[in-house]
């Protein structure tokens, strides 16, 4: 019998603990009606659908961005190599300039042919010279080395090209080093 009493006491102790757990359910009020439950479920489903669409759009944007970066990488993979080749082109152009003064026909013709072949090779890879002389100064394409007074040219017009600039697939590879025009200074009035 002592065992039975202990069991009854355990049940009695457990009963008061179970009762307070049930009280909060009745304190909340009646359970929601089926229409309310349906409306809540539909609202939650709409919220989840919106989240899904946003994540899907974000994934699509990520894929497109990665594709663009991959294409840019392929288009501009030779950029460093080509940048290193530009001084060679500059030296060939200087050699032609000096050879013209010598009037040696054979050397000049050979260097001109080499220079033309080199230019065509660069063009095949998308390297194009930047227009400079006579063009309005553009900081996106030109680097000003100084200004020259000129009454023949409008102010901020490129009047001299010191080093050619180049683009690679419409992206600036090297800016042109230029001198730009400025209005001549007004003569000072003598007193």
Burial 8-41 (b: 16+ CB within 10 A, else e): eeeeeeeeeeeeeeeeeeeeeeeeeeeeeeeeee
pLDDT digits (tens, 9 = 90+) for 79-88: 877 777 888 8
pLDDT digits (tens, 9 = 90+) for 132-150: 888 888 888 888 888 888 7
Predicted pLDDT of residue 117: 83
Looking at the chain, the whole-number percentage of residues with pLDDT higher than 70 is: 79
Interval 155-170 mean pLDDT: 87
Q: Which of 28-32, 54-58, 115-119 has the lowest mean pLDDT?
A: 28-32
Predicted pLDDT of residue 18: 46
User: Is 48's pLDDT higher than 60?
Assistant: yes
Predicted pLDDT of residue 9: 57
> Using 50, 70 and 90 to split pLDDT, how confident is the model at 187?
low
Q: Is 150 exposed, middle or buried (0-12, 13-18, 19+ CB in 10 A)?
A: middle
């Amino acid at each position: 019998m002592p065992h039975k009493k202990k069991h009854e006491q355990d049940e009695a102790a457990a009963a008061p603990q179970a009762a307070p757990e049930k009280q909060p359910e009745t304190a909340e009020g009646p359970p929601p009606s089926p229409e309310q439950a349906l409306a809540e479920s539909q609202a939650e489903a709409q919220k989840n659908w919106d989240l899904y669409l946003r994540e899907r759009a974000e994934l699509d944007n990520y894929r497109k961005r990665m594709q663009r970066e991959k294409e840019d990488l392929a288009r501009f993979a030779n950029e460093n190599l080509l940048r290193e080749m530009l001084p060679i082109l500059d030296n060939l152009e200087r050699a032609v300039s000096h050879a013209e003064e010598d009037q040696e026909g054979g050397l000049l013709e050979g260097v001109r042919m080499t220079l033309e072949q080199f230019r065509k090779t660069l063009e095949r890879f998308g390297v194009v010279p930047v227009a400079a002389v006579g063009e309005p100064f553009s900081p996106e394409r030109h680097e000003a080395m100084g200004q020259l007074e000129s009454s023949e040219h409008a102010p901020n017009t490129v009047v001299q090209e010191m080093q050619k600039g180049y683009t690679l697939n419409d992206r600036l590879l090297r800016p042109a080093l230029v001198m730009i025009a400025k209005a001549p200074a007004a003569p000072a009035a003598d007193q």
